[in-house]
Structure 1
């Protein structure tokens, strides 16, 4: 136990030393070097996601024996609409399987790598994640080319394309590496803004990708779009190698094989267990676990909604890819505006606390989900996005609160546990949302949005308890 404490103190000192050195130098490249590469990778991934559902529908349709003309024009008349209703459950199963694949292995990786990153640094994990994303996007482009220009492939090929990304950590490992990197380079005053800016980049890339994807697809083909994604991922990979520096001091004389062994070290697992279970003063353990639950449940709803959202708007409103991408881009722009208003106007100028912003985000999310569930006209979906203006605030502000109440040396471990649970939440979210959607497809296809509203209502209740505990803690800290 003393070794663990000693190592944590050493890590803390290394981080503080590196911060001081770089603050003195005012090194802009060091402070903001990660963001351009991250944006390029986000754009690549979102551009692929924007049209992948369309490709899955088309290839599933072909596998069921329909001709290319029908499969290329699904949901355009009564005949093709009936065909799509037959195809959609198969696609929902593929989506659920992909979600499960991206939950199990990445959850284990992120759990083991959190403590490892505190000792050996963040950049190695960033590069591992970038490699996985780039490899998966490459396989998707290859499979699309073969299916469209050589011979039709089973849509399950895209499930296997996810393997490199999955077994190199996936989004959970990338997420924890980015959060730790940003936390290393920020303080309590600007941490929520920095974490929020990463969220902003993700959704800005989402807008760029979704707003352009349908136009590029109509002008070219799916393979060309996937090739653009692959190219952007390669650019992100090369940029990060060259321009992103390590954020903490790391041991220089440890062999690669020894570093790999450290990933699976029992001492690392012990250290994580001790960190998340040890008694803390001022109800900090309660707050830590409650905040973890809130963040995990937010991601749970994202997993679930992502599985069936596109299928929902096609079934309920008869939308094609163009209508969906326009709506998704508009929805993203609205929520990004809400994110910027929250982190700049409300927080910076009106001094509204992170906790208050979190509550605002949860209320906004509840209203958004309820409106979507009962929407009968397309404009009502757009209206729901306006009510959901502040929903993007929840993840960065609750993570910021979590990082502010915990010692800096424990951030990697806590984020790793949180991210592991986020990944595992897909094990429940994907099948649950897909099952509800399939059972209510012809009666109430928006029913899954009520699950989302219920989850956010629970989060809202939990946040009130966190508020009380944090207020009590702050009073105790002032009295010391």
Structure 2
């Protein structure tokens, strides 16, 4: 299913959103000094992986006990929910990448991180059904839980805190409400040269991509089954190939196209958005199987929008505000799974007998809004002296 590409971008997308919780950072030649206790990247990674591992093990236990009712299944999700799940994992991961990379290679590193998620999604989608038939439900869940435990162990053994000289916060720091208020204050305060508007426009533009993914990922299979008479096997193959194309397009775009043609991050983001528009038009008008594959080829660079926007934010924001803006982005993206299916499913239900591709038209409209937002940011930054001149931190200028 197209959950593959979703996990990619989400994540590639959902992920990049740093903790709302690093503040008062002073950038010295090779050190970062924090003047207050904060939850670090590794704390966030470890906490989310702990919740995933606990939920995985509880699912294994639940699957072996046939006398437990369905309500006990909800209990297994409690550790995952309380520790933040994938949003906190992605937030910590992208914050970590932002800390340990230079501005020159940050876009590539973030693309690699997103591509790793894509690779895992593709492999999981291709092999999970075969594993289920080979070993059964219980052992499949046990494999998943074991992988989460391995990820937790790897994080704590091999990774080191990314900010040298940082004061490690306590576990309670993660629940400190004052840090949430500080995040909101920093994200919405006035900055010179429409800095606040730039931050919000980039954040919303990125979140709208996630909104589209969550809304359309379950409908695309229904659409292809209705219009092209695809079976689930056909759609799974298409989804895996589409994700692989996006995977390859990310590397090709960053390593070859952007460096050779000297295209800036914002301009390349609009290229990605325009390719998405063409993709949705082709899918809406598709009458044959090859049209769907053509659409995926056309949108070769669509997976770059999220990594490039996040990379741009790390380059133009003051060091102390990067994680706060990433946290705001995560909070907005966390609402997408709740809101977008309501809109998309309702639209599909109303148009399935007349024009089942209507949800693609909705996606085109949303992408056009994102293009407009990126264009406004380009206009606001037309007079900057360097391509990635940082936004200033003056609260007195609108």
Q: Does the pair score TM above 0.5? A: yes
* Corresponding position: 1:457 with 2:373: no
Q: Distance in 2 between matches of 1:314 and 1:159?
A: 32
Contact map agreement 2:32 2:166 (CA 8 A) in 1: no
Q: Distance in 1 between matches of 2:29 and 2:142?
A: 39
* Corresponding position: 1:251 with 2:167: yes
What is the total number of aligned residue pairs between the two structures? 368
The alignment partner of 1:472 has SS state of coil
Which sits farther off after the overlay, 461-470 or 209-218? Answer: 209-218
Q: Distance in 2 between matches of 1:325 and 1:117?
A: 49
* Corresponding position: 1:227 with 2:241: no
Q: CA RMSD in A?
A: 3.1
Deviations 1:233-289 (A, max 9, x none): 22111111211111123326x6x4xx50x3444532342232112221222222111
Check 1:137–1:308 CA distance in 2 against 1; reply closer, same or farther (3 A cut): farther
Q: Residue 12 of structure 1: which of 18, 23, 26 is its match?
A: 26
Contact map agreement 1:210 1:328 (CA 8 A) in 2: no
Contact map agreement 1:214 1:321 (CA 8 A) in 2: no
Q: Distance in 2 between matches of 1:213 and 1:266?
A: 40
Check 1:309–1:434 CA distance in 2 against 1; reply closer, same or farther (3 A cut): same
Check 1:404–1:174 CA distance in 2 against 1; reply closer, same or farther (3 A cut): same
Q: Deviation of residue 359 (structure 1)?
A: 0.8
Check 1:168–1:265 CA distance in 2 against 1; reply closer, same or farther (3 A cut): closer
Unaligned runs of 5+ in 2: 1-21, 391-398
Q: Deviation of residue 220 (structure 1)?
A: 4.3
Check 1:152–1:135 CA distance in 2 against 1; reply closer, same or farther (3 A cut): closer
The alignment partner of 1:445 has SS state of coil
Q: Residue 51 of structure 2: which of 132, 138, 141 is its match?
A: 132
Check 1:451–1:275 CA distance in 2 against 1; reply closer, same or farther (3 A cut): same
Contact map agreement 1:437 1:445 (CA 8 A) in 2: yes
The alignment partner of 1:250 has SS state of coil
Which sits farther off after the overlay, 215-224 or 337-346? Answer: 215-224
Equivalent residue number for residue 122 of structure 1 = 41
The alignment partner of 1:375 has SS state of coil
Q: Distance in 2 between matches of 1:459 and 1:179?
A: 22
Normalized against structure 2, the TM-score is what? Answer: 0.82
Equivalent residue number for residue 266 of structure 2 = 355
Q: Distance in 2 between matches of 1:117 and 1:384?
A: 50
Q: Distance in 2 between matches of 1:233 and 1:445?
A: 39
* Corresponding position: 1:166 with 2:166: no
Equivalent residue number for residue 123 of structure 2 = 208
Q: Distance in 2 between matches of 1:134 and 1:176?
A: 18
Q: Distance in 1 between matches of 2:254 and 2:306?
A: 12
Q: Distance in 1 between matches of 2:295 and 2:285?
A: 10
Contact map agreement 1:296 1:418 (CA 8 A) in 2: yes
Equivalent residue number for residue 35 of structure 1 = none
Equivalent residue number for residue 432 of structure 1 = 343
Contact map agreement 2:27 2:319 (CA 8 A) in 1: no
Q: Distance in 2 between matches of 1:181 and 1:145?
A: 38
Normalized against structure 1, the TM-score is what? Answer: 0.69
Q: Distance in 2 between matches of 1:116 and 1:214?
A: 50
* Corresponding position: 1:302 with 2:175: no
Q: Deviation of residue 330 (structure 1)?
A: 0.3
Q: Deviation of residue 219 (structure 1)?
A: 3.8
Contact map agreement 1:347 1:353 (CA 8 A) in 2: yes
Equivalent residue number for residue 328 of structure 2 = 417
Bigger helix share:
1
Structure 1 residues 17-32: aligned runs within 5 Å:
17=31
Structure 1 residues 226-375: aligned runs within 5 Å:
226-248=141-163, 249-251=165-167, 256=170, 259-260=171-172, 262-375=173-286
Q: Distance in 2 between matches of 1:228 and 1:313?
A: 32
Q: Distance in 2 between matches of 1:375 and 1:139?
A: 44
* Corresponding position: 1:390 with 2:301: yes
Q: Distance in 1 between matches of 2:45 and 2:36?
A: 10
Q: Which has the larger radius of gyration?
A: 1
Equivalent residue number for residue 184 of structure 1 = 99
Which has the higher relative contact order, 1 or 2, with Cα contacts under 8 A spaced 6 or more apart?
2
Structure 1 residues 68-107: aligned runs within 5 Å:
none
Deviations 1:354-381 (A, max 9, x none): 1121011101111122222332333222
Check 1:163–1:449 CA distance in 2 against 1; reply closer, same or farther (3 A cut): farther
Q: Distance in 2 between matches of 1:362 and 1:18?
A: 36
Deviations 1:425-454 (A, max 9, x none): 222112112222333344443322222221
Q: Distance in 2 between matches of 1:390 and 1:118?
A: 40
